[in-house]
Each structure stands twice: as C-alpha cells, then as structure tokens.
Structure 1
Amino acid sequence: MAFSGMGSGGGRGRGRWRSQVGVLSEMNVVPLVDVVLVLLIIFMVTASVMEFGLNIDVPQVKQVRDTNEEHPVVSVGKDGTTKLNDKLVNINNLGKEVKRQFPGQSDVYVRADTNLIWGNLAQIISALDEAGLKQKLVMKPLDRTK
C-alpha cells in the first residue's frame, strides 16, 4: 500500500509515525471560539441598530377621558379599623360611603393587613356585597408609615 508508512497498518514503518506525532486526544476549539465571537459581534451590532416597540397609528378622538380617576380603596388594619381612602369609616356605613364618595364606581379595592382575622375581612366583603359593589383584593401590605 502507498500509505502503509502512516501507522495505520503493517509494514516497515509500523508505529513510527505515531511515536513522532502522538495521539491527538484534544479537540481544537479555536475555530469554534472564532465563530462564537463573530456571532456575538454580529448580534451586538444588530441589537444596537434595531428599533424596539411597535409602530402604531393611534386613532384620533374628539373627547379625552381623564385617566387620573381616584378609585375607592378600603384598608383594614390588624385591629379591624376600616378606612376608605385613608378616612375612618364605620363598617355598617361602608357601602353607602363608597357610593356617596364614588358615584358610578362599582369596583372597590380592599387592602388588608396580613395579621387580620378572617372574620373581620369577611364582614367587609359582605358589607360591600350588600351594597352591590365588586371587591378587588389587593395583596400589597399596608404602608406602616401612615
């Protein structure tokens, strides 16, 4: 054979080529690193050039609605004190007060202390239900600075 001296078969040069070069057991990662770095550079350049967001043609309206409406928020403390937007209110008059202060609003946000007894919260939900108001429970803890 013409290539028998390469160490693949028998013949005169058996093993001579292997002893000079050694067995290559490591993978050459230099081309892989080159490709990865080139791709990284391409992505960095295209990401900085790309525009984010959508181009939307917003329809023109004649009347603009005020979005800064104040929503009714019922806060219940650990001791059961009930406040409607930071003003103390009696639980028996809660539904009437919400309807008086916020006419046309049917959603009421309820914030309760984590240590509140469930019975107190159930009374508030029941009072709002009797007045025909929908409750939205907020899982945000009460602000302790007030």
Structure 2
Amino acid sequence: MLKRSRRHGRRRPMSDINVVPYIDVMLVLLVIFMVTAPLITQGVKVNLPQARAGGIPSPTVASVIITVDRMGDFYLDAGQDKHLPASDKTLYERIRTVLAYKPETPVLVRADNEVDYGRVVRAMVVAQAAGAPNVGLITAPPAHREP
C-alpha cells in the first residue's frame, strides 16, 4: 500500500468567489424596491385638466408646486406637512420663505379638473403676493385620439 503524503491530503484554498448567493439577494432587493417605490411617493390625487400646450423648458432650479385638490384645499410641496392642507397665510409664508433663499424659483399650480376656477386664481394671487417671479399652470396632455 502506498502512503499518501500529507501534502496531497490537504485541501487547497479556493481563490474564486461564488457569486450566486449575492445575485439571489440582489434580485430579492430589486423586487422589494420595485414593489415599494410606488408606495413611497406621496401626494394629493388630482384629476388634471387636459390641454394641448407647449411644454415648460426644464428649469435650472426646482419649482414650487401648489396643488389644489377637488375640495379646493391647497397643498404645497415645500416645507413641513406637505400632505396637510395649507391656509392662504401658510401658503404665503412658505412660498415667501422659499423665495427668500432662491428668488428665481418658479411657482406652478396644479389643480383638479373639478375645482372652482376661483380657487386656482386664489392660489396664483397668493403666490404672486409672496413674490413669485413666474406662476404657471400644470395640465395633463390629452389622450391621443385618431380623427
């Protein structure tokens, strides 16, 4: 019988990494993020009026968006409590604060299709009174229809 030497009986260290478990983990994380990403976005659901209009050129600074929901409540995407309705005074103060730091910030109003026109005008007036250089309206593009 042949005796094996000690050198042949030992295992050699592996120099490659098995990446299959890492790929599994990454796929699970990808699925989790794909499912949770739509849930993370917060906002007020509004039914925007549809109109054909030229697009707004992409501004170099972020815009402040005032949302007017179906009930006529104002929401502002700046400051704390973005998901809570804001009064005219609160709206004015928050816009004024944003414009104090970035005076060239455009203000956009997006309103539900069912909201009273007066509420939309009121939001625009408050924004202008707060010192907004530009106040624009956001609409949804109309559905494509064949003639």
TM-score tier after normalising by the smaller chain length: 0.3 to 0.5
> Bigger radius of gyration, 1 or 2?
1
User: TM-score with structure 1 length normalisation?
Assistant: 0.44
User: TM-score with structure 2 length normalisation?
Assistant: 0.44
